[in-house]
Chain A
Amino acid sequence: DSGVTQTPKHLITATGQRVTLRCSPRSGDLSVYWYQQSLDQGLQFLIHYYNGEERAKGNILERFSAQQFPDLHSELNLSSLELGDSALYFCASSVVSSLHNEQFFGPGTRLTVL
Chain B
Amino acid sequence: GQQVMQIPQYQHVQEGEDFTTYCNSSTTLSNIQWYKQRPGGHPVFLIQLVKSGEVKKQKRLTFQFGEAKKNSSLHITATQTTDVGTYFCAASNDYKLSFGAGTTVTVRA
* A residues whose Cβ falls under 8 Å from a Cβ of B: 2, 33, 35, 42-45, 48, 50, 55-58, 90, 92, 97, 99-100, 102-108
Contact = CB atoms under 8 A, between A and B. Distances in A.
Contact of A43 (B43, B92, B93): B43
Q: Interface size for chain B: under 10, 10 to 19, 20 to 34, or 35 or more residues? A: 20 to 34
A45 B94 contact: no
B34 to A, nearest CB: 10
A7 B96 CA distance: 23
B48 interface: yes
Interface residues of A: mostly helix, strand, loop or mixed? strand
B95 A56 contact: yes
List 4 tightest A-B contacts by C-beta distance, closest first. A99-B92, A56-B95, A102-B45, A105-B42
A90 B42 contact: yes
Dominant SS among interface residues on chain B: strand
A56 B94 contact: yes
Contact of B95 (A97, A107, A108): A97
B68 interface: no
B99 A45 contact: yes
B102 interface: yes
Interface of B: 1, 31, 33, 41-45, 48, 50, 88, 92-102
22 contacts: A33-B96, A42-B100, A42-B101, A43-B88, A43-B102, A45-B97, A45-B98, A45-B99, A48-B95, A48-B96, A55-B95, A90-B42, A92-B43, A99-B93, A99-B96, A103-B33, A103-B43, A103-B97, A104-B45, A105-B42, A106-B42, A108-B42
